[in-house]
Amino acid sequence: MKNDLSIYVLISFFLEDVGKVELHCEKNNKAHKTNDISVNRLIVRRGQSFLVTFELHGPSRPTTDLLELKVETGPQPSEALGTRSVFRLPEGCGKGSSWKVKVHQGSVFLAGSITLDITSPADAPVGEYRLSVKTSATASVGSSLGKLLLLFNPWCKEDWVHLPEEEERQEYVMREQGLVYKGSDKYISSMAWNFGQFEDDIVDICLKLLDVNPKCLCDPAKDFSARCNPIYVSRVVSAMINANDDRGVLMGRWDGRYDGGMSPTHWNGSVEVLRRWLKNGSNPVKYGQCWVFAAVMCTVLRCLGIPCRVVSNFQSAHDTDKNLTIDYFFSDYGVRPKQSPDSVWNYHVWVEAWMRRPDLSAGSLYDGWQVVDPTPQEKSTDVYCCGPAPVKAILQGHVDLKYDVPFVFAEVNADRVTWMVFADGSKKKISTDSVSVGQNISTKAVGSDKRVDITANYKHAEGTKMERAVYNLAVKRVNIPGENSNGTHDCKPGVSMKIVELTKPVSGKNIDLKLILNSNDSETRTLVINVNVQAMRYNGIPSSQIQTELKKLKLLPNQGRVKMFQTLSVSRPTRFNYHSSAHREAFTSQNKGN
């Protein structure tokens, strides 16, 4: 410290005027892994030092004044909120300051300039900062040293987004090209996506996105302060990617009509979408669906420094009432007298972001991957956003944690329950499918274009006791009363049915199907088979009627029967949804199957 103090005394012989400033943008940005964004502006990551050199000139005079630096972000900077910090030489001076500065080793201060090592705290708010310096206590204002952009730092152990493995940091922060998985659980396809998080102007668009979010417009000082927290930032970004209740990036549309915009299938990268949003004056780009929402969010988070990846869930449930079941209602003739708001999507795409969750546990119980979903499905605290929901909490059935864990749990592990609705409006559960929801949850592999199945991260293997135990625990924790909410059947149906595809569904081609009927009874059943075939969009919304067929047949005791049927040729790019119901002419609920 004695040697350092002698340096500061020598420095103070210069007048407080500051001359030429060198921010060492190329050198600093390379050290901070931001040179792909720019080498002409200072972009650094929090918790890591960077260099600044500036000249001190003018007639000298002896003084013991110390250098005082100041950083500020946002329109109303405050030391109490962490958006303003004053720090001084020698290192550590500056009451309450968490920013640090020291003279860079080898600094040639006697030549009239000084190079400083400046380090931001690992929990500083991200965003653009103004940096200034005072070289004398008598100076009324400091001299500007310029601006710097501060990002999250996955390389810093103290940062909440720290990701231990370098190979994963390269994949989930630095990689600009990726894959998004679509299709169905039996026919998974991939599409290439250009995230382009380091393209020119994307970082400024990401900051603009934060600046126009409703929380910032309502209370900018509080919002800028909260940007220290990746939990808060990811939640804001989730809300701002969709335009349902703010000036978000994308307007969603699922009805097949895209007048005034582009079909969601038009997009193959995020850069064009984000630039259009900015060019349109922060008005939404038309149109997006789940994979577009998720991929654009991945771009924003990676640009800001939060590790993330795009994840696809096949047979993804949309549980509107948070009872962890997807309910279907049928009358005795196979008609749906009651339309359920619940649905099962062919696939759904969201984002996983990596961060700590000290708000949920004193330890690291829920740290790691968090589901954040920008597709507007259900509101969360009155806003169309979802997450961050810890994947570890979903695996354990801890659905009483924030944010939106019950909804995501249902997406991957809800039971599909079929109800028979009687003429008087009463209903009875006739079957439960506890297996089909949440299949082949997929993401791109680290360092290659292979698909990785991460279903085991979300739930235990279907059919195991552990999976049922976790599901029952989740139902208990979600605390919504209901009939037989433990997923057991009210009764064992007298007839069971299964539809099997004999040929792959190909646009413009007929599909061969097989309906397998099995009797569990000891007496002959006379059945009426009502087969209804619909084309449905990937999110479970019916598109058109294809075929209906009504047949009578007898099913012998404890025997099975196979019936063949064929759909009409269909050319539209939708999935098929097959329904069949059977009832005995002298109807009793015991003879129902679906």
Hey, which residues are catalytic here? 290, 348, 373
**What backbone phi and psi angles, to 5 degrees, belong to 142?**
-85, 165
3-class SS shares of the chain: helix, strand, coil, % to 5 = 20, 35, 45
CA-CA-CA-CA torsion sign (227, 228, 233, 235): negative
Cis before 403 (ω within 30): yes
Distance between CA atoms of 535 and 441, rounded to whole angstroms?
A: 24
Is 26 one of the annotated binding-site residues? no
Run of H or E including 103: strand 100-103
**What backbone phi and psi angles, to 5 degrees, belong to 182?**
-140, -175
| DSSP 8-state assignment for residue 380 | B
Q: Are strands 495-501 and 451-453 parallel, antiparallel or unpaired?
A: unpaired
Give every CB contact of residue 362 below 8 A, 6+ residues apart in sequence.
none
The structure tokens listed for 504 are 């792959």
Q: Are 33 and 45 in contact (CB under 8 A)?
A: yes
Is 244 one of the annotated binding-site residues? no
The structure tokens listed for 365 are 């119980």
Is 166 one of the annotated binding-site residues? no
Q: Are 337 and 302 in contact (CB under 8 A)?
A: no
Distance between CA atoms of 400 and 398, rounded to whole angstroms?
A: 6
Q: Are 195 and 269 in contact (CB under 8 A)?
A: yes
Distance between CA atoms of 491 and 339, rounded to whole angstroms?
A: 23
Distance between CA atoms of 109 and 56, rounded to whole angstroms?
A: 9
Distance between CA atoms of 128 and 145, rounded to whole angstroms?
A: 14
Collapsing DSSP to helix, strand or coil, 328 comes out as strand
Q: Are 293 and 539 in contact (CB under 8 A)?
A: no
Q: Which residue has the tokens 């600009």?
A: 176
Distance between CA atoms of 342 and 259, rounded to whole angstroms?
A: 28
Q: Which of these, 413, 199, 391, 227, lies nearest to 309 by C-alpha position? A: 391
The structure tokens listed for 564 are 């063949």
Distance between CA atoms of 593 and 591, rounded to whole angstroms?
A: 7
Run of H or E including 234: helix 230-241
Q: Are strands 415-421 and 325-330 parallel, antiparallel or unpaired?
A: parallel
Distance between CA atoms of 578 and 512, rounded to whole angstroms?
A: 12
The structure tokens listed for 329 are 């209602």
Taking residue 480's Cβ as centre, other Cβ atoms within 10 Å add up to 12
Angle separating helix axes 202-211 and 290-304, nearest 10 degrees:
100
Distance between CA atoms of 22 and 529, rounded to whole angstroms?
A: 81
Distance between CA atoms of 5 and 138, rounded to whole angstroms?
A: 20
DSSP count for the chain of H helices, then E strands: 13, 28
Is 467 one of the annotated binding-site residues? yes
Q: Which residues are annotated as a binding site?
A: 413, 415, 462, 467
Q: Which residues are annotated as a binding site for Ca(2+)?
A: 413, 415, 462, 467
